Amino acid sequence: MREGFHARLVRLMGEQNLNPTTLSRKAKLGQTAVRDLLEKQGQPRLKTMRALAMALGVTVSELADGDGTLHQKVLVIGQTSDRDSWTPKAEKVEEIELRLDAGEPVAVRVRGNQYSPIYKDGDLLIGSKRTPSEAQHLIGSDCIILTDDGHHLLRYLARGSGRGRFTLRPHDPSEEELRDVKLSWVAPIQIIRRAPR
């Protein structure tokens, strides 16, 4: 038998040790929103569904109908530039078909050999955007990053000195790590589409 929306919501809350009040707060909804949704067995509006999905770290599709796989076209939003940074593109470079598990998919194309031997010129690095609150679970991951102050980076994510702050470690050991950085979003690299050799 297929799991219904309310059972799926309860299961996802249980997996993260969240109660209805905590999830409501995390999703920035009214304090009793999740409790009311569960008690009345109602269907949430799309805006509420998005907020709940983001707070639970799942896609809207996974929360709504249990399909955790996202099938989507992904825009290549930029390319790597000097050192550990990436440059956004004002125009669409290309679109690729992708299946990801959560978050808005993004991709960055590697230009140059500064990341060799890990990544080579022409490789496409693909990930799914996550919120800064989800970034705590991504420590040690290689990520596409947009910082709060607008820096576009490709670095390893490490703990910072306090809540919501991170250390960003470079690929090049001669570069300095950035400490206590606040993030706008972070996308752990999930797929590497290698350039033809």
What is the CATH topology of the domain spanning 5-65? 434 Repressor (Amino-terminal Domain) (1.10.260)
Judging by beta carbons within 10 Å of its beta carbon (0-12, 13-18, 19+), is residue 93 exposed, middle or buried?
Answer: middle
The pLDDT value given to residue 71? 52
Amino acid identity of residue 20, one-letter, is P
Buried b (16+ CB within 10 A) or exposed e, 110-142: bbeebbeeebeeebbbbbbbbebebbeebeebb
**Residue-wise pLDDT tens for the chain (197 aa)?**
456 788 888 988 888 889 999 999 999 999 889 999 898 887 788 888 888 988 888 777 778 776 555 456 677 888 887 777 888 876 666 776 655 556 678 899 999 888 888 999 999 999 888 888 888 889 999 999 999 999 999 999 999 999 899 999 998 888 899 999 999 999 999 889 998 87
Structure confidence by residue, pLDDT tens digits, 108-156: 999 988 888 899 999 999 988 888 888 888 999 999 999 999 999 999 9
Numbered ranges of CATH 1.10.260.40 in the chain: 5-65
Would you give the DSSP letter of residue 78?
E
* pTM summary value: 0.56
Distance CA 71, CA 136 (A): 26
Report the topology of domain 70-193.
Umud Fragment, subunit A (2.10.109)
Phi, psi of 144 (to 5 degrees): -90, 130
In terms of Cβ atoms closer than 10 Å to its own Cβ (0-12, 13-18, 19+), residue 157 is buried
In DSSP terms, which residues pair with 96 in a beta bridge?
Answer: 74
Residue limits of CATH 2.10.109.10 in the chain: 70-193
Residue 181 makes CB contacts below 8 A (sequence gap 6+) with: 147, 148, 160, 165, 166, 167, 168
How far apart (Å, rounded) are the C-alpha atoms in residues 97 and 80? 21
